[in-house]
Amino acid sequence: MPDPTPMEIPMTQVACTVNGEAFTRDVPVDSPLLEFLRDVLGLTGTKGACLEGECGSCTVLVDGETINSCLMLAAQANNRSITTIEGLASGAELDVIQDSFVATGAAQCGYCTPGLIMSARALLNDRPDISETELLTALEGNICRCTGYASIIEAVKRAHRESQSS
Amino acid sequence: MFHQPMTFKQALELRSELGADATVINGGTDVVVAMNHGAIKPTCFLDLSGINAIRKIDRDNGHLILGAGVTFAQLGKLHVRTLKEASLSVGGPAIRNMGTIGGNIATASPAGDGCVALLALGADVQLSSKDRGQRWIPLVDYFIDYRKTALADDELIQAVRIPYNPRSRWYKIGKRGAVNISLVCCAVSQNEDKKTQLAFGCVGPIPRTAPKASALLNGETLSAELIDDVANLVAQEVSPIDDQRGSAAYRRAMCSTLTKRLLTQLMEDNPKGDADA
Ligand SMILES: Cc1cc2nc3c(=O)[nH]c(=O)nc-3n(C[C@H](O)[C@H](O)[C@H](O)COP(=O)(O)OP(=O)(O)OC[C@H]3O[C@@H](n4cnc5c(N)ncnc54)[C@H](O)[C@@H]3O)c2cc1C
Ligand code: FES
Ligand code: FES
């Protein structure tokens, strides 16, 4: 059966900072932040999979805290500052967590990797000392279907050590 | 339309004007999931996430006052054990940074972990409207039937008030480690007068207390026999249903088991209570 007349979705303006750059755009009121980042700004590093908060592949930082961008509306990001995976490296120089994921082979297909790295970034931003439990808790909202997690945990520990010693 | 008030007063004005035509949203962890599933298609939003005033935790005469926009991440740092543990059982860290206690209460899911902890703590909820002002009601009276609550179309949840309960415990049985919806959950708490309350999730259409079983406990010193009697009474008092996550019989048995486990922990507890509830 054909869809009954599709409802007109109103637009609203969102002004936010993404990876240090200010943007003002019109977005549909019901559009998730994930869609805005990927389809409007072309920042396709952030992934979407479950769209229900279970997998963490869409994790980004909003005002320094991790959120699932599949569950935040783009319009809610008004006046906020967002960091995505694209915002971590400076030029050709990788963030220490990215570097550690490469060094320990913590990515296979890589689909979960941006989300995991953003969760790890929030953890390492937050505190100089982290326990094993804190590390596991910080990553508990991110699912990886490939690696079995050991190399991921190793990567975050390595990044932690490296950032302590530098 | 997308309304993003910066003050609670503005939010109440918009709520009064728009009523049920605007979908109230805060953390979005229930609303946007429902949108992504195609279950709802809102075109008008009243977004509370920009209101800093409802993100605060205050203390007043031994009571804790939680703004409706306080997140599970914030609650996870409190020392009220049942609420802390309930909050830390929700989703992963990103969900806990988004999901709010007001959203948990408004959604009124029978599995609402925050609601169950607050029921055991004997919390009150503050409902506010532009025209009729603010009213405090016991949370236990707020839940009416499956997703039917005392919240009117012109009202918003403003805050939650929790009396001092030096000791409390929490346990949730779910099917997965991290991101899990509960199969049964149980909260117990004890106030300074040794008044003990039990609450349960997933055992009926609403999060609920167990007044008969709780009445057996009141004023009494906990003993192994008393705990057995209470646990037996709980099994009669709750009325769980079968669903895809578990059978009624299993849930009933688990309510008894959790009651026994948590009350035994309270009995064996540090007599001074949990650190700084
Ligand atoms: C992956 C995942 C795991 C989850 N796990 C759990 C769990 O273990 N236990 C659990 O209990 N819940 C769980 N939830 C559900 C959800 O996180 C909670 O119910 C949360 O408290 C909702 O808060 P919110 O601010 O995100 O609400 P929103 O989605 O923004 O809103 C929820 C409802 O409340 C209304 N509302 C919000 N604030 C107010 C207010 N101040 N006044 C009036 N109405 C209001 C909205 O209109 C809507 O109907 C989970 C959700 C996800 C996505
Ligand atoms: S796509 Fe957002 S949590 Fe899975
Ligand atoms: S590397 Fe494939 S999902 Fe994690």
**Å between B183 CA and nearest CA of chain A:** 17
φ and ψ of A42, to 5 deg: 70, 20
User: Which has the higher per-residue pLDDT, B197 or A8?
Assistant: B197
Which of A38, A68, A73 is the best mutation target for the ligand 2 pocket, counting ligand atoms within 8 Å of the beta carbon and taking the most? A68
Instruction: Give me the residues paired with residue B109 across strands.
Output: none
Percent of chain A with pLDDT over 90: 89
Largest Cα span, chain A: 63
Q: Which of residues 81-100 of A touch B (CB under 8 A)?
A: none
| Residue A49 within a domain | yes
Say yes or no to pLDDT of A127 above 80.
no
Contact (Cβ atoms closer than 8 angstroms) between residue B160 and residue B118:
yes
How close is the Cα of A45 to the center of ligand 2, in Å? Answer: 13
Residue A148: Cβ within 10 Å count: 9
Q: Specify whether A44 is located in the same domain as A63.
A: yes
Q: Which residue has the tokens 């415990």?
A: B169
Give the pLDDT confidence score for residue B244 in this predicted structure: 74
Give the pLDDT confidence score for residue B174 in this predicted structure: 80
Domain boundary among A34, A66, A87: A87
d(CA B90, CA B32): 17
pLDDT single digits (tens) B183-198: 899 999 998 888 899 9
How close is the Cα of B22 to the center of ligand 2, in Å? Answer: 25
d(CA B113, CA B87): 7
Instruction: Point out the residue among A71, A122, A142 whose CB comes nearest to the CB of B32.
Output: A71
Walk me through the domains of chain B, giving residue ranges and CATH numbers.
2-49+57-163 (3.30.465.10), 167-269 (3.30.390.50)
- Lowest-confidence range among B89-98, B208-217, B237-246? B237-246
The three-state secondary structure class of A150 is helix
Q: In what order do the strands lie in the sheet with B133-138?
A: B57-60, B63-67, B155-162, B124-129, B133-138
Q: Specify whether A109 is located in the same domain as A75.
A: no
Taking the alpha carbons at both ends of chain A, their separation in whole angstroms is: 62
Query: Please, what is the angle between helix B224-237 and helix B248-267, to 10°?
Result: 150
Give the pLDDT confidence score for residue A4 in this predicted structure: 57
d(CA B250, CA A95): 49
Q: Mean of the pLDDT values across residues A81-101?
A: 96
Whether residue B32 lies within 8 A of chain A, CB to CB, comes out as yes
pLDDT single digits (tens) B105-131: 999 999 999 999 999 999 999 999 999
Q: Specify whether A119 is located in the same domain as A144.
A: yes
Instruction: Point out the residue among A32, A56, A65 whose CB comes nearest to the CB of B97.
Output: A65
pLDDT single digits (tens) A14-54: 999 999 999 999 999 999 999 999 999 999 999 999 999 99
Give the pLDDT confidence score for residue A28 in this predicted structure: 98
Complex ipTM over 0.90: yes
Domain membership of residue A64 as a residue range: 11-87
Nearest atom in ligand 1 to the alpha carbon of residue B156 is 42
Q: Specify whether A154 is located in the same domain as A130.
A: yes
Give the pLDDT confidence score for residue B224 in this predicted structure: 92
Whether residue A12 lies within 8 A of chain B, CB to CB, comes out as yes
Q: Specify whether A102 is located in the same domain as A152.
A: yes
Give the pLDDT confidence score for residue B81 in this predicted structure: 94
How would residue B218 be classed by pLDDT, with cut points 50, 70 and 90?
Answer: confident
CA angle (A68, A131, A61) in 5-degree steps: 20
d(CA B183, CA B247): 9
d(CA A120, CA A30): 29
Q: Specify whether A38 is located in the same domain as A66.
A: yes
Contact (Cβ atoms closer than 8 angstroms) between residue B102 and residue A72:
no
How would residue B276 be classed by pLDDT, with cut points 50, 70 and 90?
Answer: very low
Q: What is the CATH number of the domain that holds A45?
A: 3.10.20.30
Structure token pair of residue B70: 């306080």
Q: Mean of the pLDDT values across residues B141-146?
A: 97
Say yes or no to pLDDT of A75 above 80.
yes
| Residue A5 within a domain | no
Altogether, the residues listed in chain A come to a count of 166
User: Which amino acid belongs to residue A153?
Assistant: I
Structure token pair of residue A120: 């790890």
Contact (Cβ atoms closer than 8 angstroms) between residue A155 and residue A100:
yes
Query: Please, what is the angle between helix B113-120 and helix B81-88, to 10°?
Result: 170
Residue B60: DSSP 8-state: E
Q: Specify whether A81 is located in the same domain as A104.
A: no
d(CA A122, CA B66): 25
Say yes or no to pLDDT of A92 above 60.
yes
Residue A137 with chain B: CB contacts under 8 Å: 93
Chosen for mutation from A27, A76, A156 (greatest number of chain B CBs closer than 10 Å) is A76
Number of structural domains (chain A) is 2
B44: left (phi over 0), alpha (psi -120 to 50) or beta: beta
| Residue A138 within a domain | yes
Q: Specify whether A100 is located in the same domain as A160.
A: yes
Give the pLDDT confidence score for residue B271 in this predicted structure: 59
Residue A68 with chain B: CB contacts under 8 Å: 29, 94-95, 98
Percent of chain B with pLDDT over 90: 80
How would residue A153 be classed by pLDDT, with cut points 50, 70 and 90?
Answer: very high
How would residue B178 be classed by pLDDT, with cut points 50, 70 and 90?
Answer: very low
| Residue A4 within a domain | no
| Residue A100 within a domain | yes
Domain boundary among A40, A59, A87: A87
Q: What is the CATH number of the domain that holds A125?
A: 1.10.150.120
Average pLDDT value for chain A: 94
d(CA A153, CA B153): 47
Q: Which residue has the tokens 């400076």?
A: A90
Nearest atom in ligand 2 to the alpha carbon of residue A71 is 2
* Number of CB pairs, chain A paired with chain B, less than 8 A apart: 102
| Residue A2 within a domain | no
Domain boundary among A67, A87, A107: A87
